Structures are given as structure tokens and as C-alpha cells.
Structure 1
Amino acid sequence: MQTQAAAASFRLGVLGSGKGSNFAAIADACAAGRVPAQPVLVLSDVENAGILELARQRGIPAEYLPPGKFRTKLDEETEARYIARLQEARVDLVVLAGFMRILKGPFLKAFEGRVVNIHPSLLPAFPGLEAWKQALEYGVKVTGCTVHFVDQGVDTGPVIGQRVVPVLDEDTPASLHARIQVAERELYPACIAAIARGQLRREGRRVLGFPPAL
């Protein structure tokens, strides 16, 4: 059985901008022992983001850090503050959970190979915003979600794991998104657990050691 001390040894820093449903799934999986890790810090660029309250309810340190002058990314000074807080918390992995800012150069260098994200499509299909709506409008019969390492591009990093969600004839964007979110809350903790256990290895863009999409 995973001991509490062992679980605590792999430390997660979480960045989010919204309600925090994926964060809650990860934190609860950690607390239940299904993920051998511990969230030690939650940071948000939105002062009243729901993710901050969910963290505080679970006794996890949670902070609002103003995002700076840009709409879609962190400015250099702000990015340095995010890096500093995560380094002070000694995080092993940075988990993006609905964080709506693009991370660039210095941040990704500071945590090289240690930043993960989840996207609501089967990448490389439908990157960017409202991927579930893109999938529905395109007419695909299946979509899903993808956990990937973060690189300099937008939703272009190496794929860790994927889950397939069928597109039903009666689907609306809202109903399809809701089913994708259910899959996300299963996939993301499983991928983080595999990373924490050291089960994955990389060969170029290929990430090996995680079960194929179901």
C-alpha cells in the first residue's frame, strides 16, 4: 500500500483559471491513494476562480497571482513570480487544470518536461478553444480528451494518454462537452499517477508506458 509519506514525496503544483473540476478529481484521487502524489500549491490568474476555493476546502495552499498586462499569456515579471512560487513549493510536476494562459520560454525551461495539460479532443485534431464544438461541427463520429506534455506550441506537446468519447446523433455542444469532461476526470488522474510512479518513458515525440485510448 502507498504510504502517506511516499505519496507526499511527489509534489504537484496546479495552475487554473476556472471552476477547477479537473483539479478536484486529481486532488481527491491523491487523497484516496489512487494517485501517489500530493497537490502542494494552487495558483490562479483569476481572483475569484472556483479552483482556489476548492483548494482551500481541501486544505491546499491557494493563491491568486495577477496575470499582468497581456490577455492570453503571462508577462515576463508575472511569469517569474509563478516560477518562483512553484520552485519555493518544490513541485515535481506542474499540472494545468483549465489555465487559460499560454506558457512560454522561461517557464517551460524552468520546468522542462514537467508541465502537463489536458485538452478536450483527440489531439492533434481540434486544437485551441471549444474543441468539442469544433468536433461536432466537423461531423466526426468520435472525439475525446488528451493529456499531453506542454511545449512551445498550442496543444502540440507529446501525447501521454487519450480517452475516446462517441459523438451521438442527438448531441449538442453542451451534452458532448459534459461527456468529455467525465472522461477528463478519469484520464487526468491516471496519467499523473503513471508519471508519479515513473512508468512512462519518452522516445522522441512518443510517450510509452500508458495504456492505449479506450
Structure 2
Amino acid sequence: MRVGLTGGVASGKSTVSAMLAELGAVVIDADALAREVVAPGSDGLAAVVDVFGLEVLGPDGGLDRPKLGAIVFADPDKRKALEAIVHPRVRARAAEMEAAAPPGAIVVHDIPLLTETGQAPTFDAVVVVDVPVEVQVDRMVRIRGMRPEDARARVAAQARREDRLAVATYVIDNTASLEDLRAQVEQVYAELSERSSP
């Protein structure tokens, strides 16, 4: 069974992802794959250098993420150029990992931009980790030390909360305790297991 997992920045999606893995799901993390496909020596990194030049490399020969981020977040066309390099490679690698999962596994694709990239219809179920925007901003300021205006800009760069909720099969509310979150995740996993059994 193929499950998409998403949520806005600072919603707690990574925590939910880890809980699903503990329960037995095969988790494929798109963020981790996005780093893997542009690792030093990869054809992905070579393609990035072709488009953006050697100045996006750090002293170690790896990608200087903050420098590349500053370039692509300031220019939508450059961001599209980067996505055209990274996204197909991430999807190909995710497909390989999914093919290697044991029969009958619940395969969870942890994709921050699932809504934005229009992938929701490709999954058997979509799990959205949801919190109000104010909670996202508060967490980024408190936990990540961001300025409130930067935190709001980060939220604004993603899909609207309503758009994420519109594609959800299951909504996990992450505004209460960790115990409450775990109970919701266990409930969703139990339902997914029931749906996936023949």
C-alpha cells in the first residue's frame, strides 16, 4: 500500500514519520533522497554544476546548500531548473526503494511538497500532519531561532493549509501532547494495515 505523508514546515511531520517507521512502515524520505541524488560524485551534482556553475560548491566539493538556496529562492525560474534536476532523480530512487519493500508492506512516502507537486492522486492514501499557521510560526521562532517574518515567509512559500487538508485521507492533529500524537498515529496505522490486508 502506497501512502503519501505531508505537512507544513514545523508541523511535526518528521516525528510522525519516525513513529510510522517504528510501527513497521517502510518510510521513504524525499528530503533525504534529495540530498542523496546531489551527493559528491553523483550525476545529479554534475547537472547542478552545469546549470549553476562551480560557485554553488563548497570547499569539500559538495553542494553549498545555503548558497544554492539563496539563488533559487530569489528566482522562480532558477528554482524550476533545480527541481527539474532533483525531482526526477528523487522519484526514480523512491521507486527503486518501493520495489525493494517486502510484499504487503505499507510504504510511506514522506514528501514535504506533496500537495504543491500534485502527487496526492498517485497514492492509496494521504496522511496530513496539521497544525495552525500560528503554531508553525511559533515553533520555528522558538525551536529554530528564526525571526517571525522569516518563519511566516517560509510558511507562505508552501501550499495553503486548506489545500493540504483538501487532499487528506487522514488528518493527524499535532497541537497536543506527544502521547496524543502517538495515539493518533497508531490509529491511522491500524486503519492503513486493515485496508492493505487482502
Same-fold call, TM cutoff 0.5:
no
Pairwise TM-score range, normalised by the shorter structure:
0.3 to 0.5
Q: Computing the radius of gyration over CA atoms, which structure comes out larger, 1 or 2?
A: 2
Give the TM-score normalised by structure 1.
0.41
TM-score (norm 2): 0.43
Task: Specify which structure has the higher proportion of strand.
Answer: 1
Greater relative contact order (Cα < 8 A, sep 6+): 2
Between Structure 1 and Structure 2, the one with more helix by share is 2
